[in-house]
Structure 1
Amino acid sequence: MAKAKYLEVADELKKRIENGVYSRQEPLPDQEAFAEEFNVSRLTVKKAFDGLERQGLVYKQSGLGTFVSGDIPIKSALDSPANAFTGLRNLLGKKNIKSQILHFSVEFPDEQMQKNLELKKNEPIYNIVRLRLYYDKPYIIEHTYMPIKLVPDLDEKILHASIYDYIHKKLKLKFGHAYRKIRAAKPSEYDKKYLGAKDDDPMLELEQIIWLTNGQPIEYSVNRNRYDTRDYVLLDNNRF
């Protein structure tokens, strides 16, 4: 499956930034210039800029444009943006991420899940648990719930590939906003069995609800990883 255009643009701009084509603390050319160069829409360029901003490579100033960031000395290889919507395969590379399905079932939501996903008790959901492997090493356990009415015909083939690509490209649905909570936790039996966590290893847990652009919640999930495999980062910017 071909990479989305905005990701292709973002990849090229990232290479140019890393190679010093654009100087740090200097503004990038405007979106219209890149739209013409890459033969894409301004919206595509904006999405590419947004992705680079989440990675800490650029920052935006209201009325002035988008600037190349300076070096971030505390940055590490474990860093992952806490506010990304692209999924692991697009973030870390499709060839680098594999999925092992630990659980996949259809069930009716309990009271809490009815609230999380704004469902009635007779509206079924998927209950999915996947172990994500990065370069064939255990990386994250994802426990995901989704309404069947919004994500029909989900199957194991899709689970082994990318649920988000299926939602965005096949179902033509767009994420609008998300609420995310990050906290420390003690290891569960799943963490010990599949992530190799020891009894005293701290775990990092990301709990989230994602809504579509029309305001419907499409995902409630809890992702867990060992303390030494992934960090979550957020680039904060005062644009005024």
Structure 2
Amino acid sequence: MAKAKYLEVANELRKRIKQGIYNKQEPLPDQETFAQEFNVSRLTVKKAFDGLERQGLVYKQSGLGTFVTGEIPIKEKIDAPANAFIGLRNQMGKDTIKSQIIHFSVEFPDEQMQKNLDIKKTEPIYNILRLRLYNDKPLILEHTYMPVKLIPDLDKNILHKSIYDYIHKNLNLKFGHAYRKIRAVKADEYDQKYLNAKEDDPILELEQIIWLTNGQPIEYSISKNRYDTRDYVLLDNNRF
């Protein structure tokens, strides 16, 4: 399946920034310039800029343009944007991420899940537990719930690849917004078994609800990783 155009643009701009083609604290060419160069829409370029900003590579100033951030001394390889919508394989590389399916079932939602996903008790949901591996090493334990009515024909073949790619490219659904809660928790038996965590290891937990552009919740999930394998970061920008 072809990579989304904005990801192709973002990857090329990321290479240029790392090669020093664009200097830090200097503005990038405007969106129209890149739109013509890559033969894409300005919206596609904007999405590429947004992705680079989430990664801390650029920042935007209202009325002035988009600037190269430069090297961030506290940035590490395990840092991940807390506000991304593109999925783990697109963040870290399709060849480096694998998925082990621990549980996959269709069931009726309990009272809390009805509230989380704004559905009726008679509307079935997917209950998915996956271990995501990075270069064959345990990275994230993901427990995800999604309404069947919004994501028909979800199967294990898709779960081994990318649910988000299936949602965006096959079903043509777009994420609108998300509410994310990040906290530290104690390792439970699943964390010890699948993440190789010790009983007293801190676990970083990301709980979230994601809505489509029409306001319908499409995902409730809890993702957990060992404290020393992944950080969540946010580039905060005072645009004014």
User: What amino acid is the match of 1:34?
Assistant: F
Distance 2:70 2:192 in 1: 39
- Alpha-carbon separation, structure 1, partners of 2:45 and 2:132: 30
Q: Which amino acid aligns with 1:69?
A: T
The separation in 1 between residues aligned to 2:91 and 2:70, in whole angstroms, is 22
SS of the residue 1:132 aligns to: strand
Q: Does 1:123 align with 2:123?
A: yes
Q: Secondary structure at the match of 2:158?
A: helix
Residue of structure 2 equivalent to 1:170:
170
1:8 is matched with 8
RMSD, matched Cα: 0.5
Answering whether residue 70 of structure 2 is matched by residue 70 of structure 1, we say: yes
- Corresponding position of 2:110: 110
**Map of 1:155 onto structure 2:** 155
Following TM superposition, by how much is the alpha carbon of 1:70 offset from its aligned partner in structure 2, in angstroms?
A: 2.6
**Paired residue type of 1:74:** I
Q: How does 1:30-41 map to 2 (within 5 A)?
A: 30-41=30-41
Aligned to 1:20: 20
What is the aligned residue count?
240
Structure 1 unaligned spans of 5+ = none
Q: What secondary structure sits across from 2:21 in the alignment? A: coil
Paired residues of 2:211 and 2:218 also in contact (CA < 8 A) = yes
Q: Which amino acid in 2 is paired with 1:139? A: L
Residue range with higher mean Cα deviation, 133-142 or 63-72: 63-72
Deviations 1:197-224 (CA, angstroms, capped at 9, x unpaired): 0011000000000000000000000000
Query: Aligned partners of 1:236 and 1:70: how far apart in 2?
Result: 15
1:61 has 2:77 as partner: no
Whether the aligned pair in 1 keeps the contact of 2:23 and 2:70 (CA below 8 Å) is no
User: In 2, Cα distance between the equivalents of 1:43 and 1:131?
Assistant: 34
Aligned to 2:183: 183
Amino acid at match of 2:19: N
Runs of 4+ off more than 3 Å: none
Return the offset for 1:188: 1.1
1:238 aligned residue: 238
AA in 2 matched with 1:149: K
Cα distance per residue 1:99-122 (max 9 Å; x no partner): 000000001111100000000000
* Percent identity of equivalent pairs: 81
- Deviation for aligned residue 1:82: 0.2
1:226 maps to 226
SS of residue paired to 1:86 = coil
Alpha-carbon displacement from aligned partner over 1:175-203 (angstroms, at most 9, x marks no partner): 00000000000011110011100011000
Distance 1:30 1:76 in 2: 29
| Ranges in structure 2 where 5+ consecutive residues have no aligned partner | none
- Aligned counterpart, 1:132: 132
Residue of structure 2 in register with 1:193 after alignment: 193
